[in-house]
Amino acid sequence: MPSLEGRSAVVTGASSGIGAATALTLAREGARVVGGARRTDRIPASVTPLELDVTDSASCERFARAAVEELGGGIDILVNAAGLALGRDLFDDSSEADERTVLETNVNGLIRMTRLCLPHLRDGGHIVNIGSVAGRQAYEKGALYVTSKFAVRGFTYALREDLLGRPIHITTVDPGLVETDFSRVRFRGDEETARKVYQGVEAMKPEDIADCVLFAVTRPPHVNVDELVVKALAQSSGGRILRTES
Ligand code: NAP
């Protein structure tokens, strides 16, 4: 795997799970990494922490300015990992507030960060969006999250079209079940329900997804990995997970 020595990276959602593991992996491979999140105290030590709320345009603008300055004027890799789901309910029980939070974070936030970082992406640069298997096939009781991740995939492919002819790569990495704080957030701090999501099945680790990001960003310049879909072996789709009896 080629080294990332001398390259610079920005990772959103760097305080937990996939974003934290990706930021760590890129730093380990030699990149200078700036990580953004609201909980900057949880961003790994080898990463420069900067406060970021992707739902807030002013926060995103401040973050992008500070990140570019910290990285010496240019970005080689942008990883959009900040995201969340809220609830596992029929759409009948959806609320305006939850809809706004999920769409503002997963869709508008990702688009906003991409728009703000794009002018600073160096030739040969790379945008990696963390999508989901939920953005490829719907599952029950996840309407807003599914909608948001379909949008991420649509945006990734639309941007691929607009970037054609420019030396910028773009990839969507679409994971299945990964054991992170995702379920804790989805179930609003209900530890018991969150734990059950990972019971009786060997879920992927955040590092497995960080490996996929690393693979995508270390291909030769003439290669663009459009999408990587990666699931736990015991999972065939968003809605179908084989669990052992406990
Ligand atoms: P996680 O452990 O809960 O991490 C989510 C990250 O997003 C945290 O760093 C959080 O930071 C950040 N974030 C949330 N809202 C934010 C906001 N408004 N502004 C800035 N940062 C924000 O969950 P994860 O599993 O790593 O999720 C990362 C991405 O992977 C998400 O896009 C998720 O949809 C996707 N994904 C996860 C799975 C899975 O099974 N875990 C599967 C497929 C896709 P702060 O709270 O500190 O701001």
For the chain, which domains are there? 8-235 (3.40.50.720)
pLDDT at 70: 98
Q: What is the pLDDT of residues 135-177, one digit of tens each?
A: 999 999 999 999 999 999 999 999 999 999 999 999 999 999 9
From ligand 1's centre to the CA of 91, what distance in Å?
Answer: 22
Q: Where are the alpha helices (DSSP H) in 49-142?
A: 57-70, 96-103, 110-117
Measured between alpha carbons, how far apart are the two ends of the chain, in Å? 40
How many CB atoms sit inside 10 A of residue 95's CB? 12
Please name the residue whose Cα sits nearest to atom 47 of ligand 1.
39
Among 10, 15, 60, 212, name the best residue to mutate to test ligand 1's pocket (greatest count of ligand atoms within 8 A of Cβ).
Answer: 15
Confidence of residue 2 (pLDDT cuts 50, 70, 90): confident
Q: What is the pLDDT of residues 90-144, one digit of tens each?
A: 999 999 999 999 999 999 999 999 999 999 999 999 999 999 999 999 999 999 9
Bridge pairing between strands 235-237 and 169-175: unpaired
Confidence of residue 245 (pLDDT cuts 50, 70, 90): confident
pLDDT at 16: 98
pLDDT at 246: 59
Place of tokens 């603008």: 61
For residue 198, indicate whether it is catalytic: no
